[in-house]
């Protein structure tokens, strides 16, 4: 079994779980490759005697991997996707952060998780991504043109609102007068969009959602659209530039740059263990059904 591991940070109270993970993977004779920077972080804090092969970016990987472990929180999984991209490698997140909808394996469950993985007793669910292009094109667009959670348009260097003119499949929808606009996948509906009063969408739903950020017109509500919709956005405002973010990556664009958003031509595989489900995670993370008064 060929396994990739990616993480970002060292946290004294959390990172030892990756040592447990390495031990358990050794027990099943897995071939382990660790992201080079993360392995250096681990070696700075732990005595790791074993020699591991490393990778540094997407070009070092191929589709021979059986599984990728992402050690951290949901943000780490979003970074992991930059390595996996369209290689169709299933990703499983070990949660060492706080609120996590994607990283669902707790550190105390690592031993059981590796046993289950080694037996093939897990499901793989595909998650849709967003892809953007711009007119005129932006440099290095191929490195930043897809997102698992959301594409967000927001103001820059101003406290004034911006206007985001929006077209769906070539038909004019409206101009959002707001701090910005979020275009979210079902996966991202529990992230930034949710904090802006967007709806929660189950991952298997073939839909995207447009969620305005602090709109001036309170009648501007989130809008759920089919995921085959082609979206065109044009920004205007007092400043000459605005921000576009794709998950955790941010770029500055001029107001003369239009953005085109559509469903990406590839999906990402996420691992679901038998005792996990999106609805169970939703109840646990959002405390649905709990009455804190009692």
6 shares its domain with 119: yes
Residue 294 lies in a domain: no
134 shares its domain with 123: no
pLDDT reported for residue 294: 63
pLDDT reported for residue 97: 72
Residue 293 lies in a domain: no
Share of the chain above pLDDT 90, in %: 69
80 shares its domain with 195: no
249 shares its domain with 157: yes
pLDDT reported for residue 192: 94
pLDDT reported for residue 143: 61
Residue 291 lies in a domain: no
Residue 104 lies in a domain: yes
220 shares its domain with 278: no
Mapping DSSP onto H, E and C, the string for the chain reads: CEEEEEECCCCCCCCHHHHHHHHHHHHCCCEEEEEHHHHHHHHHHCCCCCCCEEECCHHHCCCCCCEEEEEECHHHHHHHHHHHCCCCCCEEEEECCCCCCCCCEEHHHHHHHHHHHHHCCEEEEEECCEEEEEECCCCCHHHHCEECCEEEEEECCCCCCEEEEEEECCEEEEEEEECEEEEECCHHHHCHHHHCCCCCCCCCCCEEEEEEECCCCCCCCCEEEECCCCEEEEEECCCCEEEEEECCEEEEEECCCEEEEEECCCCEEEEEECCCCHHHHHHHHHCCCCCCCC
117 shares its domain with 155: no
Angle at 98 between CA 43 and CA 197, to 5 degrees: 140
pLDDT reported for residue 35: 96
Whole-number Å distance between alpha carbons of 19 and 22: 5
* Catalytic one of 29, 66, 74, 109: 74
User: Among 28, 103, 32, 115, which Cα is nearest to 71's?
Assistant: 103
What are the φ/ψ torsions at residue 124 (nearest 5 degrees)? -120, 125
User: Among 106, 270, 251, 88, which Cα is nearest to 187's?
Assistant: 270
205 shares its domain with 164: yes
pLDDT reported for residue 139: 52
pLDDT reported for residue 107: 84
How many structural domains does the chain have?
Answer: 2
Residue 72 lies in a domain: yes
* 74 catalytically annotated: yes
200 shares its domain with 235: yes
User: Among 128, 124, 149, 148, which Cα is nearest to 276's?
Assistant: 124
Please give the model's pTM, rounded to 2 decimal places. Answer: 0.90
Residue 100 lies in a domain: yes
* Structural domain for 203, as ranges: 130-263
Residue 213 lies in a domain: yes
Residues of the chain with pLDDT under 70: 13-15, 99, 138-144, 293-294
84 shares its domain with 190: no
What CATH number should be reported for the domain holding residue 166? Answer: 2.60.200.30
149 shares its domain with 238: yes
- Cis amide bond preceding 256, omega within 30: no
What CATH number should be reported for the domain holding residue 30? Answer: 3.40.50.10330
Residue 161 lies in a domain: yes
68 shares its domain with 184: no
49 shares its domain with 161: no
């Amino acid at each position: 079994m060929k396994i990739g591991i990616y993480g970002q940070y060292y946290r004294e109270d959390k990172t030892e779980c990756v040592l447990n993970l390495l031990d358990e993977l050794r027990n099943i004779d897995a071939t382990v490759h660790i992201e080079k920077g993360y392995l250096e972080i681990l070696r700075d804090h732990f005595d790791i005697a074993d020699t591991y092969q490393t990778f540094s970016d997407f070009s070092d990987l191929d589709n021979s991997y059986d599984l990728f472990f992402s050690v951290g929180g949901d943000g780490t999984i979003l970074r992991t996707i930059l390595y996996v991209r369209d290689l169709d490698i299933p990703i499983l997140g070990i949660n060492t952060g706080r609120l996590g909808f994607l990283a669902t394996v707790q550190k105390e469950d690592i031993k059981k998780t590796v046993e289950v993985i080694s037996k093939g007793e897990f499901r793989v669910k595909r998650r849709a991504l967003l892809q953007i292009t711009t007119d005129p094109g932006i440099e290095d667009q191929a490195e930043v043109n897809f997102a698992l959670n959301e594409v967000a348009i927001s103001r820059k260097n101003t406290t004034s609102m911006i206007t985001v003119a929006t077209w769906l499949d070539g038909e004019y929808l409206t101009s959002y007068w707001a701090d910005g606009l979020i275009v979210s996948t079902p996966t991202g509906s529990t992230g930034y969009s949710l904090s802006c009063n967007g709806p929660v969408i189950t991952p298997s739903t073939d839909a995207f959602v447009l969620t305005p950020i602090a709109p001036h017109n309170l009648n501007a509500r989130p809008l759920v659209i089919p995921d085959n919709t082609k979206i065109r956005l044009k920004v205007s405002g007092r400043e000459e530039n605005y921000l576009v973010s794709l998950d955790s990556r941010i770029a500055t664009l001029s107001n003369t740059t239009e953005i085109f958003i559509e469903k990406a031509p590839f999906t990402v595989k996420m691992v679901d263990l038998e005792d996990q489900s999106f609805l169970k995670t939703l109840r646990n993370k959002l405390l649905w059904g709990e009455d804190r008064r009692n």
